[in-house]
Amino acid sequence: MNVLDHVAFIMDGNGRWGKKRNKSRNFGHLKGVETVKKIVKASIKFKIPIVTFYVFSSENWKRPKFEIDYLLKLIKIYFLKEINNISRQGIKLNIFGEIEKLSPDIKKILKTSILRTKKNKTITVNLAINYGSKNEIISSLKNVKGKINLKKLEMNLYTKNMPYPDILIRTGGHQRLSNFMLWQLAYTELFFLKKLWPDFQSTDLLKIIKKFKKTKRNFGGI
């Protein structure tokens, strides 16, 4: 039976979920945050050591300004409201992405949250914010000293000292990676769901985990 160390999520479909209910796309994003909280709680229950959520990609800056502003406001409000609860649950937070390019107030909140939770051990929650995998790989290559090899490159990725995702779950119906963890997902089991992110439940996660446990993983072998 496969050991499960790390699950990654591409949380697609928030905007469409809101529009389907004659609400705004931003309403869908708000509901999506509630789903993140539910799935983190379920991940603790299912004893998953690491989860990673694709929150805001480096390509999301192409969206309308009002939507970008709302997404960044949601991130800020989430940390201000939830940091005490996050800490009580024993959640260790990491941020993947170029946070130096974010506004000073959001950058400060993210860095403070990382420091406050760094000793927590119940679960590690990685949030990919202003993240793009191609930029991550280029940045890693630039930071390698001397001759480049796999080990040196991997030690300069955001996932250094972490197991790579065993499972990737993408909601929303699209079957693509969207510049997310391209290096780390080489041997990951991929699950694409038509269900939109706000509709994703802990029972959906459990079904995928059960299927993963029975999957034969060869990693290039037989």
The residues assigned a catalytic role are 12, 60
Tell me if 32 sits within 8 A of 11, measured CB to CB. Answer: yes
- Rounded CA gap, 77 and 186, in Å? 34
- Rounded CA gap, 167 and 211, in Å? 10
Tell me if 145 sits within 8 A of 98, measured CB to CB. Answer: no
**N-to-C CA span, the chain:** 16
- Rounded CA gap, 9 and 54, in Å? 6
